[in-house]
Amino acid sequence: MPDALRLKGAFRMNTLGFIGMGNMAGALAEGFIRSGRLPASRIYAYAPHQEKLAASAARIGFTACASLKELTAAADTIVMACKPYQVEDVLKACREDLRGKALLSVALGWNFARYTALLDPSTRIQCIMPNTPALVREGVLLFEEAHSLAADERAEIMELFGALGMTVELPSALMGIGGAVAGCGPAFADLMMEAYADAGVKYGLPRETALRLAEQTLLGSARLALQSGEHPGVLKDRVTSPGGTTIRGVCALEKAAFRSACIESIDAVMSHDLKRRDN
């Protein structure tokens, strides 16, 4: 198997197939390819709108499949990456073809127990909750503790996904909240960058400069917190000198209930019905 994907130890996965090739699947496929761990020639995908699929196949380099059947025949490890409300119908269509294969699911609201109830016992299951920064290898990849992969296979898949960012294992009961914070979080961080860029523009910065300042400030602050291991409150205290300007900005955010707004954004995510079509 000279040109097969080679990770540490025994190797199982040869080909990876995506059911659905939208934002998340595209981020994963591109991340795997860019990381150098999985060549595009070993990635397959199926999605109903074939013209759209062909366009992303041309851009990313994977092989487009004309049907679910073609995809499940081509790939030994399958990633479920369509919308959560579509998963059940897709499973009905390919349950038999998934026998003996590994199914990795990134669908919000789907967990090991839910798949186990619907799939053949020979299908090995692992639910993973990624986020879109995986595209630039700065993602969060939540792995559900409950799974039915073989130990070496799981280690290999965690290593593959680890190329896209930080892998974290969570008990099934915490996958929902983990996914809300890490999966929806990029949109909230985007909003914050946009807002600070607007503020910069309000006081005269050119739009592009304002955006770059806001983006790099968020990135740098996150890196500083991660690398130093310091609590964000400690880092905030260090840049708020007594009677200074930064503490005035912090107080303005507190007055506007910034923290409460952040927590309420997660309340809104957690209270949403995942069976709705707009998920």
Ligand X SMILES: NC(=O)c1ccc[n+]([C@@H]2O[C@H](COP(=O)([O-])OP(=O)(O)OC[C@H]3O[C@@H](n4cnc5c(N)ncnc54)[C@H](OP(=O)(O)O)[C@@H]3O)[C@@H](O)[C@H]2O)c1
Q: Cβ-count burial of 232 within 10 angstroms (0-12 exposed, 13-18 middle, 19+ buried)?
A: exposed
- In whole angstroms, the minimum distance from the beta carbon of 179 to ligand X comes to 6
Per CB under 6 A, does 265 bind ligand X? no
Span near ligand X by CB under 6 A; candidates 14-22, 29-37, 95-103, 136-144: 14-22
Pick the stretch among 16-24, 28-36, 151-159, 194-202 that binds ligand X (CB under 6 A). Answer: 16-24
Interaction of residue 69 with ligand X, rule CB under 6 A: no
Give yes or no for residue 116 binding ligand X (CB under 6 A).
no
**DSSP string of 20-35, one letter each residue:** --SHHHHHHHHHHHHH
Nearer to ligand X (CB atom), residue 157 or residue 210: 157
Q: How far is the CB of 28 from ligand X (least distance, A)?
A: 9
Nearest distance, CB of residue 263 and ligand X, angstroms: 20
84 binds ligand X per the rule CB under 6 A: yes
CB of 213 to ligand X, least distance (A): 25
In whole angstroms, what is the distance from residue 105 CA to residue 148 CA? 13
Q: How far apart are CA 122 and CA 148, in angstroms?
A: 9
- Count H helices, E strands: the chain? 11, 8
Q: 38 vs 57, which CB is nearer to ligand X?
A: 57
Contact between 130 and ligand X by CB under 6 A: the answer reads yes
Q: By Cβ distance, which residue is nearest to ligand X?
A: 22
Tokens of 257: 């209930």
Strand, coil or helix: 77: strand
Per DSSP, the three-state class of 186 is: helix
Token pair recorded at residue 20: 């659905």
Of the pair 83, 272, the CB lying nearest ligand X is at 83
Beta carbons within 8 Å of 4's beta carbon, 6+ residues apart: 11, 14, 42
Distance CA(84)–CA(120), nearest Å, equals: 20
Choice between 47 and 119, CB closer to ligand X: 47
- Packing angle between helix 258-270 and helix 172-202, nearest 10 degrees? 140
DSSP 12: -
Task: Indicate the helix (H) or strand (E) that contains 165.
Answer: strand 165-170
Is position 104 an interface residue for ligand X (rule: CB under 6 A)?
A: no
Q: How far is the CB of 173 from ligand X (least distance, A)?
A: 18
Q: Do strands 16-19 and 77-80 pair parallel, antiparallel, or not at all (unpaired)?
A: parallel
- For position 108 contacting ligand X by CB under 6 A, the verdict is yes
Nearer to ligand X by C-beta: 19 or 210?
Answer: 19
Nearer CB in complex with ligand X: 231/276: 276
Applying CB under 6 A, among 14, 23, 116, 122 the residue interacting with ligand X is 23
Binding site for ligand X (CB under 6 A): 19-25, 46-49, 52, 81-84, 86, 90, 106-108, 129-132, 183
